[in-house]
Amino acid sequence: MAASLQPRWFETISERPLYCSIPVQDAKGNTRIIAGGADHGLTELDAHKGTRTASLYSKTHGHSEWVTCVARVSPTQVASAGMDAKVCVWDLASVAPHTERQRGVQHVPVRACVDLVGHTGSVAALCGVDGAGLLASGGYDGSVRLWRVDAATCVAVLEQRGEEESGVQEAGRARVRTRPTPSNAVVGLNEFAGRLMCRTKSGLVNVFDLGTGEAMTCVQAHRGPVSALVPVSGEVFASAGVVDGAVRVFDLRVAEGRGRCVARMEGVHGGGGVTAMVRVGSYLGDGTDGGPVCLATCGGGGDAAVKILEMRGGGVGPQRIVKEVSQLVRQDARVMTCLPGQTSAKSPETISYALTSVPELDGVLVSWGDGCVQVMRNLTRHGVGATVPDRGPMNYCDNRNVYTPINGRRKSTSSQVLEISALSFSSNSTNDVVNLDTKIAGIRNAIRSFSVFSKPTVGALGVVGSGDDGIAIGWELRF
């Protein structure tokens, strides 16, 4: 049976679901959590104590509809967006006039924001461009906009390229057509190596050059929404489909129409889609040197499993190999089986929602539909404390929990011990799953997002989760 870790704190933020959160760390190492959701507002919390430090909502500042995404712009600024088609840039050092008592809680400062207006539909994705002072936003109006934050102006509207649904073949290869098509709702944005990758509800992935604002190319990656995208190098990325349940690898160095899908794995989680995918392990190469690129996936198919996929091979043109190398199945889940051609209801504990990579533990954080949260470690067997990127003051996670390497690498010894409250596990322990207790906080539904941040003074990682119960909860992992 998996060990269990009690939370350091928990706080009821709202009576409605929380959909997004990020950690923001200043130059002094103080970390705050910004969480937003269906009550139209965002709340600022002290990440170490769980106390409210500010409200990002008032009668004159903020959103008028659900907040669906949040992103870090700078150490003192965050951006939020939602169903009101508006992007708000909040100054975390400001206090708006007429500080108000918010929703029956203690008096807290109210932050001021600047509105960025231009979208005509719900904004579903935000992405800060580090060092450039730019913010990218994408929405259900099909547009991708680049904003210069200091001037509060839109500097470019990026035009998507498109292709017909028939461009997706059974082999997972796409025929690119450059003619414009009707707008594709944007569901996610990734910035990598000077490029902006746009994921759409129709299964397209559009790639833009951030230097010129021009569309470089696009591929029809999946049938239905692209749930996750993991850049492997500047030219190679892996994507996952929430409807077709496939993981596919694309090489943009291959000419259009020549078979850019160089690796694929269909039906990763049985009959369900892939709800999230992240890169795991300490290997940061692209596979051309023979090293394995490891991906962790979770799904909505009711298999109660986190699967580890390994991609090998490289070069331009040659097919790469993607295969499943291991899986960790939730032991207390009621996995339902049925005869071929039949369907069955899936238990909430078998469906996963949020997945975040934790390189320091060679593992992931995963949340399940019944509110359970687990740390799964030693996934690639490279060892706890292997060479991993630092989590510096400029590090952040977006609302889809993509771990962003910043400030190079850090080496640790293989003799480190992972301490979890009174529990200790050596790096060669066979017990690789730890439950993070949520029941004590009254959480019964899914955690939607994780924020992971360093606590260098105590040699630990802080983890904060928030979700459908409107509760934020924090744990401390010592390693």
Rounded to an integer, the average pLDDT of 142-166 is 82
458 DSSP β-pair partners: none
CA–CA separation, 245 and 272 (whole Å): 6
Token pair 């400062």 is found at 109
More confidently predicted of 70 and 214? 70
- Give the global pTM: 0.83
Measure the N-to-C terminal CA separation of the chain; round to a whole number of Å.
Answer: 21
Give the model's pLDDT for residue 94.
Answer: 80
Give the model's pLDDT for residue 172.
Answer: 40
Secondary-structure percent of the chain, ordered helix, strand, coil, rounded to 5: 5, 50, 50
CA–CA separation, 63 and 115 (whole Å): 9
User: For 35-39, 43-47, 277-281, 426-430, which range has the lowest pLDDT when averaged over its residues?
Assistant: 426-430
Asked whether the predicted pLDDT for residue 400 surpasses 50, the reply is no
- Assign 432 a pLDDT band (cuts: 50, 70, 90): confident
CA–CA separation, 457 and 406 (whole Å): 19
Give the model's pLDDT for residue 401.
Answer: 34
- Assign 162 a pLDDT band (cuts: 50, 70, 90): low
CA–CA separation, 92 and 273 (whole Å): 38
Contact (Cβ atoms closer than 8 angstroms) between residue 113 and residue 62: yes
With b for 16 or more beta-carbon neighbours within 10 A and e for fewer, the 357-380 pattern comes to bbbbbbbbbbbbbbbbbbbbbbbb
- Assign 179 a pLDDT band (cuts: 50, 70, 90): very low
- Assign 440 a pLDDT band (cuts: 50, 70, 90): very high
Rounded to an integer, the average pLDDT of 344-364 is 85
Contacts of 162-171 with C-beta under 8 Å, sequence gap 24+, read 162/204, 162/218, 163/204, 163/218, 163/220, 164/220, 165/202, 165/203, 165/220, 165/223, 167/220, 168/203, 168/220, 168/221, 168/222, 168/223, 171/261, 171/264
Contact (Cβ atoms closer than 8 angstroms) between residue 361 and residue 386: no
Contact (Cβ atoms closer than 8 angstroms) between residue 242 and residue 224: yes
- Assign 462 a pLDDT band (cuts: 50, 70, 90): very high
Rounded to an integer, the average pLDDT of 234-244 is 92
Q: What is the pLDDT of residues 186-195, one digit of tens each?
A: 999 999 888 9
Rounded to an integer, the average pLDDT of 409-421 is 30
Q: What is the pLDDT of residues 38-61, one digit of tens each?
A: 999 999 999 999 999 999 998 889
What's the mean pLDDT when you consider all of the chain?
Answer: 80
Nearest C-alpha neighbor of 400 from the set 81, 207, 13, 127:
127
- Assign 450 a pLDDT band (cuts: 50, 70, 90): very high
Rounded to an integer, the average pLDDT of 345-371 is 89
- Assign 412 a pLDDT band (cuts: 50, 70, 90): very low
Asked whether the predicted pLDDT for residue 170 surpasses 70, the reply is no
Q: Checking phi first, is residue 348 left (phi over 0); if not, alpha (psi -120 to 50) or beta? A: alpha
